[in-house]
Amino acid sequence: MTLPSDRKTIFITGAGSGIGRATAKLFAERGWFVGLYDISAEGLVATQKLLPEGRHTSGVLDVRDREAWRNAVGQFADATRGRLNVLFNNAGVGRHGWFEDIAHDDSDWQIDVNLKGVVNGVYAALPLLRKTPGARIVNTASAAGLVGSPQLAVYSATKFAVRGLSEALDVEFSRYGVRVTCLMPSFIETPILDMPTGGRNTVLRDQIKATNAEVEPVEVAAEAAWKAAHGEAVHYTAGRMAQRLRTAARFFPNGLRKQLIASLPKD
């Protein structure tokens, strides 16, 4: 297959489920060629079945593995004649619970995937991005990167870091003509809501239900990813809760802190 010279391309991590899958479907339906990459081979097969024929390539990728990143980007370049319009650093993992109840290895895992995985992707893809006019990077952070989120402390820290990285690189890479933007979803209907709660036989979804917090369809995040790939801003929220948190963190930080303390579960 020869890719048409005018077809735009996107490389998506975490494409085997959730926001990655929904974004892949949306971009493919709008004419883009999509690179699907995920640690789950089964998830990739399921995503491929949703996409138009001839509009994708795929490969298993652990974003913690730098050599695997180099191989994946090389394979994508072969399929796209060396073009990469958007790198969507979307793979992410989490653990929910009191800080001291989260195993140290699980905290390392979150840092390695959510932050180091993004850094690895930028290093690996930058040469292709620099060669593609108007290219950009979209990094998935979270509403937990807008305000320090109790019982998601390390996860929240990684997402704050992704925000900061995105802001810094957007300025740095302006000398190459490469934009960097940041996607910040709130509670979206994805498998990450089933992250285990440290020290308990429950998952995050259980606490969300208990507090009647809003969970929005994954298509909301996919549309926000589309905006992040095309718009002029640096930060893009996905979901009404994320927008409310962004406003509260900016204008009412003390009130927000009091609300968070009041919302803590009582052991």
Active site residues: 155
Whether 54 contacts 95, CB under 8 Å: no
HEC states along 105-116? HHHHHHHHHHHH
Whether 154 contacts 115, CB under 8 Å: no
Closest alpha carbon to 102 in 255, 219, 204, 254? 204
Query: How far is Cα 263 from Cα 227, in angstroms, rounded to an integer?
Result: 32
Token pair for 104: 């140290």
235-238, strands of its sheet edge to edge: 56-60, 33-38, 9-13, 86-89, 136-140, 179-185, 235-238
Separation in Å, CA 208 to CA 37, 75, 172, 197, 265: 29, 40, 38, 12, 11
Closest alpha carbon to 36 in 19, 14, 54? 14
CB atoms within 10 A of CB 22: 24
Rg (CA), the chain: 18
Residue showing tokens 């490469």: 178
Token pair for 140: 């998935």
Separation in Å, CA 219 to CA 29, 147, 200, 243: 13, 24, 31, 16
